Structure formats: C-alpha cells, structure tokens
C-alpha cells in the first residue's frame, strides 16, 4: 500500500514531464507543417493579386496571344508557354532514356568497383549550379552544336516534310534545341539517381529466379525490375520534369531569348522562367510588371498541374500494385 501511494504521484509527475515536451514537439511540428500550406497559399495569392491588372486588361486573350511588346503594352503568354513546354519535352526525350541507361548499367551490369565512382559522379552532376551549366552551354555546347550537330540536322532532314521544318534555318548554336539538350543533361542526375535507388530495392531473389528461368538481362529489367519499380521511376521522371519546366539561368543563357514562335527547333525562343529572369528587374510600368507576374502564375499552374498529375498517377499505380 505504502509503496503504491508513493509511486502513484511520482508516475503522474513523470507522465506530466513527458507529455509537456511531447505536446510542445507536437505543436511545433504542426506549426511547421501548417507553415508550408500558408506559404503555398500566400505565393498563389500574391501571384494572382500581382497579375490581376494584366488579366483584367487582356482577359483570356492573354493566354493565346503571341504578342510581347513592352513599348505598346501588349502582352501574351503563348510564346513563353510554348518555349517552356518545347524545351521540357526535348529535355525529357534526351534525359529519360539516358537516365534509364545509366541506372540500368549501375544496378545490373556495372562491376562493383566502378559502382561507387560512377554513382558519385552522377550525384556530383546534380551539385553543379545551374549558372555553370548556362555558361558551359553558351561557351562550349552552343558553338559545338553550331559547328557539328546543327549543320548535320539541317543537311539530313532538309526537304523531308515535318522534320525538315523542325530543323530548318541557319545554325546559330543557341535556341530551343540547345536549351532542351542542356536541360536533358541537368535532369539526368535526378532521374538517374531515383531510378537506380528504386531498381536496387527489387529483391535479388526475384532477379535470380528470372535469370534461373533463362531470361536475358534485358528481359529481367523489362519484365521483372521495371514493373516492380514503376512507381519510383515515374516519380523520378516527374521530379526531372518539374526541374526542366522551372529551370531559369541555364536556359536564359542558351535559348536565344526571342519572343517568336518558329516551327524550327533550331530557332531562338523564350521560356516563362527565362523571360522573368530577363525582364523583371527593368520592367517599368504597372501593366508590364503585372504581365510578368501573370507569366509566373502560368508557370506555377503548369508545374502544379504536372506534379498533381504525377501524384495521382503514383496513387493509381500504388493501388493497382497493391491489389
């Protein structure tokens, strides 16, 4: 009895001591989590508010107009939106197969002593600041493309319908294609690292069983590894796409920054992010600033849609795999 009456209050005190930090911790983490939501809502609200004058002036025409004339105050989002989507598409076409190859090699074929150096090198690619990619693109990649790849493309596809159009014009080195190539290299480390990690989560017993049944390396990857890891692969690709859509500095250096839509991928263009980086600091006049804000809002909407779509896809994949 005596012992119990002593230990009772002590337990309560100890419990109180434990619950207070616990509650505090709970409150702090809750606050942090809410802060993210508040920030997101705040950014969206500011963008809408900032772009309101332009949207009120031009209405829906803002989204389909290809005009961009600071002198007469006529603005439209079509050219930068086209540039953003075109460069991101080229980046995915180049970056995803490359990343897949890298991840495949690292997990399935690579001798063990090379695994770490190559893996590290890929992670280091992600650590290169985007401005360095931009400078490298402008001073090294663009002249290289101008002298070799672009004349080859123009020469080989000239006269072919559609493709000839896509690779027409003088080889100036910089343009939509060059920006896409740079972006492809930039997203590679992200996509490749995620792919490698998810490939490695596949239990060795599954692979070994497949090999035991006489499957080739390609068949193992295509029929065993990929289906089991599709969720992670899609996640990695979306991460890369998000980065390609929003990349600013590197693109600004090599895209040529012309507010024109051309059928040719060799022609200069502009993306939303590069237009903002170029023009925001010296934008004089309310409508001009507001039109740039509206471009920001469009980019926000595009990336939001892409990420939301990716999330939805991931959830579906999860469900179909779970069943």
Footprint on this chain of other proteins (rule: CB under 8 A): 67-72, 131, 135, 138-139, 142-143, 146, 170, 172-174, 252-253, 256-259, 268, 270, 274, 277-285, 288-289
187 φ, ψ (degrees, to nearest 5):
-85, -15
Q: Name the minimum Å distance from CB 251 to other proteins.
A: 10
68 φ, ψ (degrees, to nearest 5):
-155, 85
Q: Name the minimum Å distance from CB 94 to other proteins.
A: 22
- Please identify, using beta-carbon distances, which residue of 15 and 131 lies nearer to other proteins: 131
Kindly state the tokens that stand for 119: 């893996």
- Please identify, using beta-carbon distances, which residue of 199 and 288 lies nearer to other proteins: 288
Classify the phi-psi angles of 159: left when phi > 0, otherwise alpha if psi is within -120 to 50, otherwise beta.
left
CB 194 within 8 A of CB 232: yes
Report d(CA 132, CA 302) in Å as an integer.
Answer: 26
Neighbouring C-alpha atoms within 13 Å toward the C-beta of 39: 6
- Please identify, using beta-carbon distances, which residue of 80 and 232 lies nearer to other proteins: 80
- Please identify, using beta-carbon distances, which residue of 220 and 292 lies nearer to other proteins: 292
Q: Name the minimum Å distance from CB 274 to other proteins.
A: 8
DSSP state of 74: E
CA geometry: angle 255, 188, 90, nearest 5 deg: 40
CB 270 within 8 A of CB 80: yes
Q: Name the minimum Å distance from CB 284 to other proteins.
A: 4
Q: Name the minimum Å distance from CB 282 to other proteins.
A: 3
Report d(CA 186, CA 95) in Å as an integer.
Answer: 8
- Please identify, using beta-carbon distances, which residue of 167 and 199 lies nearer to other proteins: 167
Kindly state the tokens that stand for 232: 């992670």
- Please identify, using beta-carbon distances, which residue of 98 and 277 lies nearer to other proteins: 277
Q: Name the minimum Å distance from CB 278 to other proteins.
A: 4
Report d(CA 36, CA 34) in Å as an integer.
Answer: 5
- Please identify, using beta-carbon distances, which residue of 53 and 226 lies nearer to other proteins: 53
Name residue, tokens 């508040």.
38
Q: Name the minimum Å distance from CB 161 to other proteins.
A: 25
């Amino acid at each position: 009895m005596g012992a119990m009456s002593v230990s009772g209050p002590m337990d309560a005190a100890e419990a109180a001591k434990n619950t207070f930090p616990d509650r505090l911790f709970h409150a702090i983490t809750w606050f942090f989590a809410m802060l993210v939501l508040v920030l997101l809502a705040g950014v969206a609200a500011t963008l809408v508010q900032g772009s309101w004058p332009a949207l009120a002036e031009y209405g829906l025409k803002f989204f389909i107009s290809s005009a961009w004339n600071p002198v007469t105050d006529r603005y439209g989002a079509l050219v930068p939106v086209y540039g953003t989507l075109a460069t991101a598409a080229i980046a995915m076409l180049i970056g995803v197969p490359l990343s897949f190859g890298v991840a495949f090699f690292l997990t399935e074929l690579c001798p063990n002593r090379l695994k770490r150096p190559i893996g590290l090198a890929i992670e280091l690619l992600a650590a290169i600041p985007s401005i360095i990619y931009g400078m490298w693109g402008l001073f090294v990649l663009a002249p290289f493309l101008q002298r070799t790849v672009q004349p080859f493309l123009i020469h080989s596809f000239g006269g072919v319908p559609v493709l000839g159009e896509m690779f027409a014009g003088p080889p100036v080195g910089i343009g939509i294609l060059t920006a896409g190539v740079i972006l492809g290299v930039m997203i590679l480390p992200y996509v490749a690292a995620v792919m490698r990690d998810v490939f490695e989560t596949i239990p060795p017993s599954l692979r070994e069983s497949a090999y035991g049944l006489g499957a080739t390396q390609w068949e193992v990857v295509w029929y065993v590894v990929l289906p089991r890891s599709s969720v992670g692969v899609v996640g990695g690709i979306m991460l890369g796409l998000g980065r390609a859509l929003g990349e600013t500095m590197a693109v600004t250096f090599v895209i040529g920054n012309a507010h024109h839509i051309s059928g040719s991928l060799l022609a200069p263009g502009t993306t939303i992010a590069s237009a903002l980086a170029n023009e925001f600091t010296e934008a004089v006049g309310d409508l001009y600033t507001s039109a740039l804000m509206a471009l920001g809002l469009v980019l926000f909407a595009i990336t939001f849609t892409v990420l939301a779509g990716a999330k939805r896809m991931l959830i579906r994949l999860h469900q179909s795999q779970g069943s």
